[in-house]
């Protein structure tokens, strides 16, 4: 199983992408976790309100229970203190809810950062690599076929940006001109970064560049 192109320049690009891709994923996961922890650390004021108001509510409730034993005014004072205790208890519950909301926000934002980063990596790194591997595997497989040049030239016509290929090559391909077919076949191997078979790399045909490579294609796979 050959995971990389034959030509050094394309192979270096693929290796670089395969190094940077995991680094990007690991870095963004770490960033997402750091953002999560940073947001969750902002719960200190809310937890302070929760604990302080809770302690006050307990103290007021205890005082209200004790003050009921005071003659004449004990019940009235206890009722007032109990209302104050209930209000403090409400403040404590509000602080707890606020702290929980902040923690949930940290979890959600951190998860969103990680998911978006991994989705970007899947689209910009994994998808092109898988696509290239499938197309390169197909191209390597047909190199042994008798109709190799026809298959590769047909794929080149499907993948190339039309303004970048000469009309003469298209007309020659439609007419069955061997030179045009072979030039298009070479251009498909160029697009994938694969080496020419010995019998395909001999002569300069129409549409070839001066360095002996096929017509430049507009799409590329990683």
- pLDDT of 105 above 90: yes
Find the mean pLDDT for residues 9-17: 95
Domain count along the chain: 2
Query: Residues 35, 138: one domain?
Result: yes
56-94 residue pLDDT tens: 888 877 777 777 666 656 667 777 777 888 888 888 888
Q: Mean pLDDT for the chain?
A: 83
| Whether residue 117 is found in the same domain as residue 31 | yes
User: Residue 164's domain spans which residues?
Assistant: 145-222
Chain centroid to CA 19: how far? 15
H-helix segments, 41-166: 44-67, 74-121, 127-142, 148-159
Tell me which residue has tokens 């606020």: 98
pLDDT at 179: 86
- The residue from 142, 167, 201 where one domain ends is 142
- Write out the two tokens for 159: 């993948």
Domain boundary among 85, 116, 142: 142
Q: For residues 31-43, give the mean pLDDT.
A: 93
Q: What is the CA radius of gyration of the chain?
A: 36
Higher-pLDDT residue of 59 and 212 is 59
Query: Do 216 and 184 fall within a single domain?
Result: yes
How far apart CA 191 and CA 10 sit, in angstroms, is 10
Q: Which helix (H) or strand (E) element contains residue 168?
A: helix 167-175
Which residue among 118, 142, 166 closes a domain? 142
Q: What is the pLDDT of residue 119?
A: 97
Q: Are residues 109 and 189 in the same domain?
A: no
Considering the domain architecture, whether residues 43 and 93 belong to the same structural domain is answered as yes
Specify whether 166 is located in the same domain as 218: yes
Tokens describing residue 129: 């690599």
pLDDT at 215: 42
For residues 154-163, average pLDDT: 78
The mean pLDDT of 103-114, rounded to a whole number, is 95
133 and 174 fall within a common domain: no
Count of CB atoms situated within 10 Å of the CB of 95: 21
Question: How far are the Cα atoms of 132, 199, 201, 205, 206 from residue 210, in angstroms, in the given order?
Answer: 26, 19, 13, 10, 11
Query: Do residues 8 and 53 both lie within one domain?
Result: yes
The 10s digit of each residue's pLDDT in 109-144 is 999 999 999 999 999 999 999 999 999 999 999 998
CA distance 64 to 89: 14
Residues 109 and 217 in one domain: no
- Whole-number pLDDT of residue 69: 65
């Amino acid at each position: 199983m050959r995971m990389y192109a034959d030509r050094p320049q394309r192979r270096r690009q693929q290796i670089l992408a395969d190094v940077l891709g995991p680094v990007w994923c690991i870095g963004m996961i770490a960033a997402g976790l750091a953002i999560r922890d940073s947001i969750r650390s902002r719960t200190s004021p809310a937890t302070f309100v929760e604990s302080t108001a809770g302690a006050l509510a307990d103290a007021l409730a205890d005082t209200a229970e004790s003050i009921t034993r005071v003659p004449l005014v004990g019940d009235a004072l206890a009722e007032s203190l109990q209302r104050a205790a209930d209000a403090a208890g409400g403040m404590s519950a509000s602080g707890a809810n606020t702290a929980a909301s902040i923690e949930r926000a940290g979890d959600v934002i951190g998860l969103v950062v990680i998911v978006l980063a991994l989705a970007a990596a899947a689209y910009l790194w994994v998808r092109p690599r898988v696509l290239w591997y499938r197309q390169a595997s197909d191209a390597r497989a047909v190199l042994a076929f008798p109709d190799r040049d026809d298959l590769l030239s047909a794929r080149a016509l499907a993948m190339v940006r039309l303004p970048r290929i000469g009309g003469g090559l298209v007309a020659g391909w439609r007419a069955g001109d061997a030179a045009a077919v072979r030039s298009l076949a070479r251009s498909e191997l160029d697009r994938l970064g694969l080496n020419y078979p010995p019998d395909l790399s001999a002569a300069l045909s129409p549409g070839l560049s001066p360095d002996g490579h096929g017509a430049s294609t507009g799409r590329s796979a990683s």
